[in-house]
Amino acid sequence: MIPTKQFGRTQHASSRIIFGSYALSKATQEEADRSLNTLMEYGINHIDTAPMYGNAEKCIGSWMGRHRNDFFLATKTRSRSYTGAWKDLQKSLNNLKVDTIDLWQMHGLTNPVGWEKAMGPGGTLEAFIEARDRGLVRFLGVTGHGYKVPTVHLRSLERFDFDTVLLPYNYLFMQKSRYATAFNELIELCKKRNVAVQTIKSIARRPWEGTRNFNTYFYEPLETQIAIDKSVHWSLGLSESFVITAGDMQVLPKMLDAAKRFEKRPSDAEMNTIVDKYDIQPIFSY
């Protein structure tokens, strides 16, 4: 079984691997059922989803009548307005067939204009606070992609005491000194405030080129077990964090298997060998 750890201030002992349900965006219910059964075999008790993830929320919703107490359930909104956020929340509640969401997150909050709108009058933050006060959601978070995210999350935590953050973290990302500096500053602040840290992009290989053989959105993933082992183990080496699985059902079992066998973080020499052998490249421009 994959170990659990207290998920920040939520009092929930989450599995250190969180299921990234973008993997179900094009899934049939039968395919989703197989993946969700696999999660339970490995002790995964935390699902991350969003209403813009295609079929994911509806596939998960078919499970919630029987398994709501088995999972910490997180979803998102991409809206930057009060009204739009409420529409997204209602859609998620309906799709997931639940009365409450454990964690509601502002999705992809990196654009300065969008940030000001979301945090200002009539913005998403007002909807977040109201939904929490009304008991429709329990905790609130922010997410983002790209190299600006740690700096933006620091700003978001200055504006409001969010319960969670979500951002990229892998060996190659952390070789960029500016990213690493901002990331480490964010981690220290999260430690002080007991904010849960979720990481993504652990098995990113390179930007997509040509035919897409996997369902991952931003990047072509690593696919051999040894490369996935090293990359997942490296990300799990950040003891404060929770790793979200890549958005593809083909690599999901390999990531779960890697996490189950995690003992220690690979060395830089080991990771450099993987980078060279599999031609791992940055997936965002810096």
Q: What is the mean pLDDT of each run of 10 residues along the chain (286 residues)?
A: 97 98 96 95 98 97 94 98 98 98 97 97 98 98 96 98 98 97 98 98 94 91 98 97 97 98 98 98 87
What's residue 235's pLDDT?
98
What's residue 285's pLDDT?
81
Residue closest to 246 by CA, chosen among 158, 137, 170, 156:
170
The model's pTM is 0.97
Residue closest to 122 by CA, chosen among 177, 84, 65:
84
**Cβ burial 154-188 (10 Å sphere, 16+ → b, else e):** bebbeeeebbbbbbbbbbbbbeeeebeebbeebbe
What's residue 210's pLDDT?
82
What's residue 211's pLDDT?
87
CATH number of 4-277: 3.20.20.100
What's residue 140's pLDDT?
98
Instruction: Report whether 167 contacts 153 (CB < 8 A).
Output: yes
